[in-house]
Amino acid sequence: MRTLSLDEIAPLLDGHVDIRRRPGSLQPLRLPVAELGFYDAFNRWVGSCAAGCRIRLTTTSRTLALSGAQRLMAEPVSDERRGAYDLFVDGALHARAWAEGGATIDLEAGRFVGDEAFYLPFEGLPAGSKTLELWLPQAATVSISALAVDDGAEVSAVPDPRPRILFHGSSISHCLEAEGASAGWPAVAAGLAGLSHQNLGWAGSCLLSGQAARIIRDARADAIVLKLGINVHPEGQLKERTFLDSAHAMISIIREKHVRTPIVIVSPIFSPGRETKALSDGLPLTRMRELLAQVVAARRAAGDPAIRYLDGLSLFGEADARLLPDDLHPNTEGYRLMGQRFHALALSGPDAVLGGGQAADGS
């Protein structure tokens, strides 16, 4: 087999914000490498997880083998398994597989278990030229040291020509709990609409921040989805005035470059025990939904017709609570339903926020 050089691998990566280069490896990140020191340790971790990051290529090879270093978050509350790599062939899911090796990270204990080195082969791929898209696990950090193909196989980068929708949110957009790398609701919704997507869901770290807004402002995006609120509920991190100000400031920063890009503001989904209960004089989820609707109404009244509000309860409501194994995060079935519902409400029909051929404002 032939092993591609790191310089050959880098152009094949998609869905990332930046690439951290170390001797002998490449790591796709969802944060700017030069600004890693601007973030707390937990935000750096979740922003380094490979949610929505993909290796995309056209090749005649019938084998694809990936190796490197993997640090996978410990198993979720449910009996579903984390850390899958999903391989698509010509746009269709071909295989879901788990790497051999890799370390597990216990965030509460602050330690790693096992050897982080991993190996993942896919064999018996269809003959002839085809487009492969290998999705890296959303619940792991992945540093790529080697990508191997058959001797003599043709390999070339294949940019994704589809319009791109960018999602930012909490763990419920990061979708750590979903079994497959492509099973989170942003991926499901984008796939149903025939769109490319970028997942900037940061578990525990969607704080209506200027840092996140700057990344989104500078990203290529034909539509933007901001699912806001749940991560500022713990400890009452934002009061009513600061919540409103932070939401408006985030949108204003994004609008500096994405002047006409459609933006969907999504409020929190149903969450038992948080609906009407506020912590430390903060906001319950019911009030967050009202405030986010007010934010969108104010901006539309000020002359921004390209922003709309979507109530999170329309994606996942009280009737779906059985799909919350830990009373907070949906399982794979719950994420699938969210993706299907978001597609139906926002990405299909005459009022779809994004149709083919729209030009992006961002760089």
pLDDT, one tens digit per residue, over 178-213 is 999 999 999 999 999 999 999 999 999 999 999 999
pLDDT at 285 over 60: yes
Q: Each residue of 291-328: b (16+ CB within 10 Å) or e?
A: bbeebbeebeeeebebbbbbebbbbbeeebeebbbeeb
The DSSP H or E segment spanning 188 is: helix 185-193
Angle between helices 332-346 and 185-193 (to 10 degrees): 40
| Confidence class for position 355, pLDDT limits 50, 70, 90 | low
* CB crowding 4-31: b at 16 or more within 10 Å, else e: bebeebeebbbbbbbbbeeeebbbbbbb
Can you read off the two tokens belonging to residue 328? 């907070």
pLDDT at 171: 97
Residue 46 vs residue 74, higher pLDDT = 46
Long-range contact pairs involving 94-101 (C-beta distance under 8 Å, separation at least 24)? 94/122, 94/125, 95/122, 96/179, 96/180, 97/122, 99/66, 99/70, 101/70
**For the segment 296-346, what is each residue's pLDDT rounded down to a tens digit?**
999 999 999 999 999 999 999 999 999 999 999 999 999 999 999 999 999
Task: Please state, as a whole number, how many other Cβ atoms lie within 10 Å of the Cβ of residue 249.
Answer: 15
